[in-house]
Amino acid sequence: MPIKNRLAEMHAEITAWRRDLHENPELMYDTHRTSGIVAAKLREFGCDEVVEGIGRTGVVGIIKGKSDRHGHVVGLRADMDALPIIEATGLPYASKTPGKMHACGHDGHTAMLLGAAKYLAETRNFDGAVAVVFQPAEEGGAGGEAMVKDGLITRFGIKEIYGMHNAPGLPVGHFSIKPGPFYAATDNFTIHVIGKGGHAAQPHANVDTTVMASQIVMSLQTIASRNANPVDSVVVSVTSFRTESEAWNVIPERVELRGTVRTFDADLRKLAEERLISIATLTAQSLGGRAEVEWSPGYPSMVNAEAETQIAADIARKISGSAAVNDNTAPIMGGEDFAYMLEVCPGAYIQIGNGDSAEVHHPLYNFNDEVIPVGASYWAELVETRMPAA
């Protein structure tokens, strides 16, 4: 049972939707045009219920099956937002808004789920109900959390929920997934290092912030090498080192460091935060200055439920065959805000091959339209398998 015939027939139509979204990217929660198109299409398809404004600009469509025998509701989620990147693809349907670009393929995710919704509303070859979930602000705005806080799971009675993301480098038609922690928690930090500025030729008269900050940068690497259990994963990256002076002969009064911490384990996440604050403040203090740390918690680690991961992998095998499905792929230190939905509902997130394309978040990236029938068939098959019609 590979690609569903009806979805293969709809390939050109879904591709046109995808390219229209690509041409008109919107950032974060400002997905007004996109959300409007999604809601209008869901109504046109004959969804039983279309609710806008869940998580600000999020949209949910409910499609009821032939009966409610199981009383079950399966959630399928796509993200809709683009990125603040200047597109360099030169495609005929490239972004019409300079500085905004669908560089993560969320245009494709939205189009594939719309295609599946159209198919499911037409065929209704299942019992129970499907909630098709379109979320804004995946790229740093925690749109998934906003939808959960607006009652996404409880209001629609969702019992299990699934997500999907395209993966450049993975062949088209292939899937990758793993049970347990899949994407990392993504916390950010800012360290203000404060000393006493002055003439660079008189270090004894000053408290040198660049030396303090440098020592802090190096010492932070001991969190991974000396504090974390070596079998657990943690990344501490300092990504910005800014002084307030560009002169050759001035010791700056302040230095600002910025960076990110990535973990999978909740205890290790807490440990990394505590150690980072200690290292920064005590290192600065030991050198005669001080440091103030701002810790900004980001997305939690995204954890796939065991049973739903196997369900998702089985569906992928039905679509593409066993050889094309890796059900124990390596975890990723990037973040994904589908994590918030998986915190409150069992489910699983799967990667779908985008073929040999530029990496996501790159100005040359493009979602591969050949993926559309594969992804839409995965969604449709998942529903028909999980809630078989009598």
- The site for Ni ion (CB under 5 A) is made up of 104
The whole-angstrom separation of Cα 109 and Cα 338 is 13
Write down the least CB distance from residue 104 to Ni ion, Å: 3
Specify the residue for token string 């600009």.
57
Write down the least CB distance from residue 270 to Ni ion, Å: 27
Backbone angles phi, psi at 303, to 5 degrees: -115, 115
Cβ atoms < 10 Å from Cβ of 296: 11
Give the closest residue to 98 by CA, choosing from 109, 79, 83, 81: 83
Task: Dump the DSSP string for 217-264.
Answer: HHHHHHIIIIIS-TTS-EEEEEEEEEES---SSEE-SEEEEEEEEEES
Nearer to Ni ion, 104 or 146 (CB): 104
Nearer to Ni ion, 104 or 153 (CB): 104
Q: Residue with the closest Cβ to Ni ion?
A: 104
Report helix, strand or coil for 142. Answer: coil
Nearer to Ni ion, 111 or 236 (CB): 111
Q: Is the dihedral of CA 57, 58, 59, 62 positive or negative?
A: negative
Write down the least CB distance from residue 347 to Ni ion, Å: 17
Write down the least CB distance from residue 140 to Ni ion, Å: 11
Write down the least CB distance from residue 145 to Ni ion, Å: 16
Nearer to Ni ion, 104 or 213 (CB): 104
Is the distance from CB of 243 to CB of 254 less than 8 angstroms?
Answer: yes
Q: Token pair of 357, please?
A: 């394309």
Write down the least CB distance from residue 302 to Ni ion, Å: 12
Task: Dump the DSSP string for 286-347.
Answer: HTT-EEEEEEE--PPPEEE-HHHHHHHHHHHHHHH-GGGEESSPPPBSS--TTHHHHHHS-E
Write down the least CB distance from residue 348 to Ni ion, Å: 17
- Residue 83 DSSP class: B
- Residue 171 DSSP class: P
Write down the least CB distance from residue 167 to Ni ion, Å: 10
Nearer to Ni ion, 104 or 158 (CB): 104
Is the distance from CB of 316 to CB of 309 less than 8 angstroms?
Answer: no
Write down the least CB distance from residue 130 to Ni ion, Å: 22
The whole-angstrom separation of Cα 52 and Cα 31 is 12
